[in-house]
Structure 1
Amino acid sequence: MLPAVAVCVALAGCSTASSDAAPPAAPASSSAGSAGSAGPSGSTGSAGTASEPSSGSPRGERTGQAHPAGVSIPSIGVNSTVMRLGLQADGTVEVPPAEQGMTVGWYTGGAVPGEPGAAVLIGHNDTRFGRAVFHDLKKIREGADVVVRDTAGKNIHFTVTGTETVDKKAFPTDKVYGATEGSTLRLITCDGDFDAAGHPVDNLIVYADPR
C-alpha cells in the first residue's frame, strides 16, 4: 500500500515560484505548497508540512520495470514527454524546472501508471517563460482520454472521472496520494487567483481510472 503523501499541491510557481511537496509516511496536515506536495511551478512555493527521507529506489518502481515516458490528452492538445520527480534534500517533492514548463513530471514516490495505486503526474500551468503544459487542464471534461506511454512502448489509457479545485491550504492528501484498491491516475497543476506573493492559491486535480 502506498503511504499517504502530505502534499499540498501548491504549484505555486505556476508563474514565478516553484512548488514544494512533502510526502510523509503517514497522513499529515499540509500547508500551502505545490502539487499536493508535488506541484509544478516556475520557482518555488510552499508545500506539505511533513517530510519523508528517501532511501534506495523510489517506492513506486521495481528494478527493470517500465515507467512513464510520455503523456497525451487529445481533447486539450497535450502531448509531452515525462520527466522523473523525486524528493529534494528537505523532503519536498521536486517539480519540473521553469525552463521545462512544457514537460510533465511523474512523482516516482507514487505508483507507476497502470500499476495498483495512485500515479501522480504534475505539470505547470504557466511559468515565467509563458504558458505551460497543463495551461488548459481546466478545460478537461469527464470522459476525456488520457494516454500514458511507458518506456516499453505500451500505451495505457485512462478515462477522466472528475476534477476538483482545492485551496492549497486544504489539499486532500489522502484522497490524492492515499492507498487505492486498483490503478488510478491524478493530474495536478495550479489554479485560481494569486496571493500577495504572486502564487496561485488553488490546485486543480484531475482524477482518472484505467479504461
Structure 2
Amino acid sequence: MTTQQSPQPNPSSDLPEKAVPRSAGRGLIWAAGAFLLGSFLVYNSVDTSADAKPLSFSAGQQAHRPISDLALSRSAPKRLTIPEIAVDAPFTRLTLGPTGQLNAPPAADTNLVGWYQDGAAPGERGAAIVAGHVDTKTGPAVFLQLETLRPGSTVEITREDGIIATFKIDSVETFSKANFPNDRVYADTPDAQLRLITCGGSYDRKAKDYTANVVAFAHLVSSKHV
C-alpha cells in the first residue's frame, strides 16, 4: 500500500482539502488523510469559484445498509447524469495544488464536474470523490440543486470503458466548513461508493465563501455497457 497526499484547505478552491492514502488498485483510503481533505472544502462564491458541500451517510445509515460485493475495475468517468435535478455534465480531472489542496473545477464552465483522479474511480471499490460548483460569479452552476436529492435518487456515471455505473443516494447532508466530518466523508470504504460535493449554507460576503458544504453519499447498485 502506498500513501499519497490528499487535498488540503485552499481559500481559492471549491473543494475540501486533506492528504489521503491510496491503496494499490483500490483508490484513495481517506481515513488517514481525512481531516485534510475535509479542509479542502469547495469554495463557492460570486467573486471566486463555486463551493462544494460534503454529503455522506450517517453512521446509522451506513450500519443498516448491507455491504455490496458489486464493484468495477478502474476506469475514468466521462459524464454525470442526474435526471431528477437536470444534471447532464462532462467530467474534468481534479488534482492537488502545491500546498496539498484539491483544485476546484474551472469556474468558467458552469456545467462541469470534477473527479479527484488520484482517488477511487466511480464504480471501483472505495469512495469516489466528485465535486461541482453550486454557482459562480456568472450565475447558477451544475450542482445548484444537489441538496434537494433524497435517499433513493439515482445517479448515473458513464465511464471511459463504456460502462454506465448507477448509484443510489443514501443520504444528503450539510456540514459547516468549520466542523467538517472528514472521517465520514473521505474514509475508505469496502464497497463502491460515491461522494458528490458542493457548497452550501449561507454566503459570507466578507470571506467571499459559503459557510458549509453539501455532501451526497451514494453506493453502486448496477452497471451496464453502453
TM-score (norm. length: structure 1): 0.77
Output one character per residue of 1:170-198: Cα deviation in whole Å (capped at 9) or x when no partner. 11111111111111000000001122323
Of 37, 47, 70 in structure 1, the residue corresponding to residue 40 of structure 2 is: 37
Aligned-CA RMSD value = 2.8
Q: Determine whether 1:23 maps to 2:33.
A: no
Q: Where in structure 1 do 4 or more consecutive aligned residues deviate above 4 Å?
A: 1-8
Contact 2:49 2:137 in 1 (8 A): no
Q: Determine whether 1:108 maps to 2:103.
A: no
Output one character per residue of 1:48-103: Cα deviation in whole Å (capped at 9) or x when no partner. xxxxxxxxxxxxxxxx9521011000111100001100111221111111102210
Contact 2:15 2:103 in 1 (8 A): yes
Paired with 1:207 and 1:98, the residues of 2 have a C-alpha distance of 24
Paired with 1:93 and 1:145, the residues of 2 have a C-alpha distance of 26
Contact 1:191 1:204 in 2 (8 A): yes
Q: What is the number of equivalent residue pairs in this alignment?
A: 185
1:1-211 aligned at under 5 Å gives the runs 5=6, 18-19=13-14, 21-25=16-20, 26-27=32-33, 29=35, 37=40, 39=42, 41=44, 43=48, 65-195=74-204, 196-211=206-221
Which residue identity does 1:73 align to in structure 2?
Answer: I
Paired with 1:36 and 1:176, the residues of 2 have a C-alpha distance of 11
1:41 match: secondary structure: coil
Which residue identity does 2:197 align to in structure 1?
Answer: I
Q: Which stretches in structure 2 are left out of the alignment for 5+ residues?
A: 21-31, 52-72, 222-226
Output one character per residue of 1:25-70: Cα deviation in whole Å (capped at 9) or x when no partner. 434645xxx9752526353699xxxxxxxxxxxxxxxxx9521011
Give me the identity figure in percent.
Answer: 34
The structure richer in strand per residue is 2
TM-score (norm. length: structure 2): 0.72
Q: Which stretches in structure 1 are left out of the alignment for 5+ residues?
A: 47-63
Contact 2:8 2:100 in 1 (8 A): no
Report what 1:55 is aligned to.
Answer: none
Evaluate the alpha carbon distance shift between residue 155 and residue 103 of structure 1 in structure 2; reply closer, same or farther with a 3 A threshold. Answer: same
Paired with 1:20 and 1:157, the residues of 2 have a C-alpha distance of 24
